[in-house]
Structure formats: structure tokens, C-alpha cells
Amino acid sequence: MQKDIIINELKKVILGKDDVLEKLLIALLAKGHVLLEDMPGVGKTTMALAFAKIFDIEYKRMQFTGDTLPSDVTGFIMYDKDEKVFSLKKGPIFTNLFLADEINRTSPKTQSALLEVMEERQVTIDAKSYAMAEPFMVIATQNPYGSSGTNLLPQSQMDRFMMALSIGYPDKESEVMILKSRHHSDPLNRVEKLVDKDTLVKIQKYIETIYVSDEIYEYVINLIRATRKHPKIAIGASIRAGLALMRLAKARAYIYERDYVTPRDIEDLYLNTLSHRIVLKNHDFSAVSLEREAVLNDIFASVKMPDLKG
């Protein structure tokens, strides 16, 4: 898979955000879910649609609101009067790429409907489990904390997002190009399929075989454990965080055409993997993102990086 070819195709609709596009690609290849923490209108939905087109996968979007029910997401069992049988009415979660838009506007009960499917890639309805088709990925967006009608995501759910990203506003030059590109047509119509679904699944399985040295394993564990000892952190990173960082590092190694993980892979993905998982002791939600980043940078600098190639 040629990383640059895919990124260039995505740049038909998202300009000036190459790093975000690359990391979303890494998360997809690592079979992870992504939380997009951003203001409305910066291109989150457009980006997800472009990924679906490039990889020829099914895409569904759901707008979460205060009255959204768990069954609206997962589906429910209904009685068919003509056939005289009970059958499953599938919810929008039954897809390859599910965009949960403004997930923190809905109730904790509905948010919890995603816990099982994000971890085990299945949903249970009336005591029967239904597996998701491969590939499967959840991209969730959330409005900034303190926005009208928002609820905090539970830590158990935050931990299930492999990575947290923020698109942010583009620079002036890119914003001008965005306006020009949409003057006559929708750029999404120009996005082409580059990789078929079956190939994507094969790549995901191959990535699991990429080599990781003992030094890298120990380095990751040292970074994770350091978050549990830092004086400003109330809740440190979980074991799941370490597993996520390793899977992401393997996927990054793959797109950079290596069959082994380097410290640079860990460094590039460290903040996006851990920033949404830790809880600070005395945090102010208006500045928590920057404060978490500062604490994690402090930890990263304190942990010795292995002297390995790359």
C-alpha cells in the first residue's frame, strides 16, 4: 500500500491536515476506533466519507441526540406478521465504517450501547450475539466540553478509542483552496477507490505479524506505567492503552514500508493514544487538553528511549 497515494487522494477533500489523515489511516489499518474532538464544520464527516470511498467499504452515519435510544444504534427484534416469526431489525452499527456524530450529546445509557461492539466487535440483542463484518471501525465526534447539551463520556468508553485526533481549522491558503474546490462541484465525487475491502482485511492481518523487539515492549510499558506514578495524574493509562500503542506502531511501520517497529513509531503516536485516557487530579475542562499534553510530554521526556535503528 502506497501511503502517499492514499493521502493525496484524501487531500482532494481535506487540505492542510496531512498528519491527521495519516494517523486516521494508521488507526484503520490497526483495526482501531477514533475519537475526533473538534468544533462542528471542520470536515469530520467528509473525511470519513472519503475513507469509505477509497477503501470501498460500507459507511453509515448517525446523529446522536439527547433522546437517542440504545436500540436506535444496535437494532431490535421485531415480529413479522406476514412470516409469523421474530426477526432482527439491524441498526446503523451494522456496517464497516460507523460515524457516531456528536456522541457526547446523547445519554450515558445510549453511549454504553457502543461499549460491547467497540471491544468485542459484536452486539447482543435479546441474549443473542451478532458479529460485525470485517473491516469494522467506529469514528466518533464530540463537541468541546461545556458545549450546550453535552455529557461526559465515561472513562470505560474513552479507553476503547484507540486514538483521539483533532482536525482543527485549516491554514488560510488551504481554506481558500477549499472554497475554490467547492465552487462548481463536490470534491467527494472525485475521490476514487484505491484499495478493495478484501485487500484491506488482508493488510490488517499482515500488520499483526510485524516484528517488535523486547526493547520496544519494555519502552512502551515504561511509558504506560509512568502515567500511573505522575503526581498530577489521578488515573493513568490502562493495559489496553499499551496494546493500542503497539498495534498503532505496527501499522505505522507498515505504511513506512518496514517490517519492524522503531522508537520513532512510538514517539509519533504516543500523545494521540494516551491523551484521552488519563485523568488529571485537579483538571479544569476549559484547559484540560493542553494540560494533559504537557503532562504526557513531561513523562515522555523522563523515560529513556531505546537506542535502536529508526
Domain with CATH 1.10.8.80 in the chain: 208-305
* pTM of the complete model: 0.90
Distance of CA 115 to the CA centre of its chain: 14
What pLDDT is stored for residue 169 in this prediction? 79
Number of neighbouring beta carbons within 10 Å of residue 90: 14
Can you state the angle between helices 214-227 and 263-274, rounded to 10 degrees? Answer: 30
Sequence-distant (≥ 6) Cβ neighbours of residue 65 within 8 angstroms: 102, 105, 106
Number of neighbouring beta carbons within 10 Å of residue 267: 14
Sequence-distant (≥ 6) Cβ neighbours of residue 245 within 8 angstroms: 220, 223, 224, 266, 269, 270, 273, 274
DSSP-derived secondary structure for 77-104: EEEETTTTEEEEEE-TTSSSEEEEETGG
DSSP for residue 41: T
DSSP for residue 182: T
Rounded Cα distance, 239 and 227, in Å: 12
What pLDDT is stored for residue 264 in this prediction? 96
What pLDDT is stored for residue 186 in this prediction? 79
DSSP for residue 105: G
Taking Cα atoms as reference points, which of 264, 243, 240, 239 lies closest to residue 252? Answer: 264
Q: Which residues of the chain have pLDDT under 70?
A: 1, 41, 144-149, 183, 283-288, 309-310
Q: Residue 150 in contact with residue 143, Cβ under 8 Å?
A: yes
Phi, psi at residue 162, to the nearest 5°? -65, -30
Identify the CATH homologous superfamily for domain 1-206.
Answer: P-loop containing nucleotide triphosphate hydrolases (3.40.50.300)
Identity (one letter) of the amino acid at 266?
Answer: I
**Which segments within the chain are labelled E, that is strand?**
34-37, 59-63, 75-80, 85-90, 97-101, 122-125, 128-131, 137-142, 163-165, 233-235, 279-280
Per-residue pLDDT tens over the stretch 158-196: 999 999 998 877 788 877 887 777 767 777 888 899 999
Residue 238, SS3 per DSSP: coil
- 34-37, strands of its sheet edge to edge: 59-63, 97-101, 137-142, 34-37, 163-165
What pLDDT is stored for residue 293 in this prediction? 87
CATH number given to 208-305: 1.10.8.80
Rounded Cα distance, 65 and 224, in Å: 35
Distances (CA, A) of 242 to 62, 173, 195, 249: 30, 38, 29, 11
Domain with CATH 3.40.50.300 in the chain: 1-206
Rounded Cα distance, 276 and 164, in Å: 6
What pLDDT is stored for residue 146 in this prediction? 59
Rounded Cα distance, 245 and 251, in Å: 10
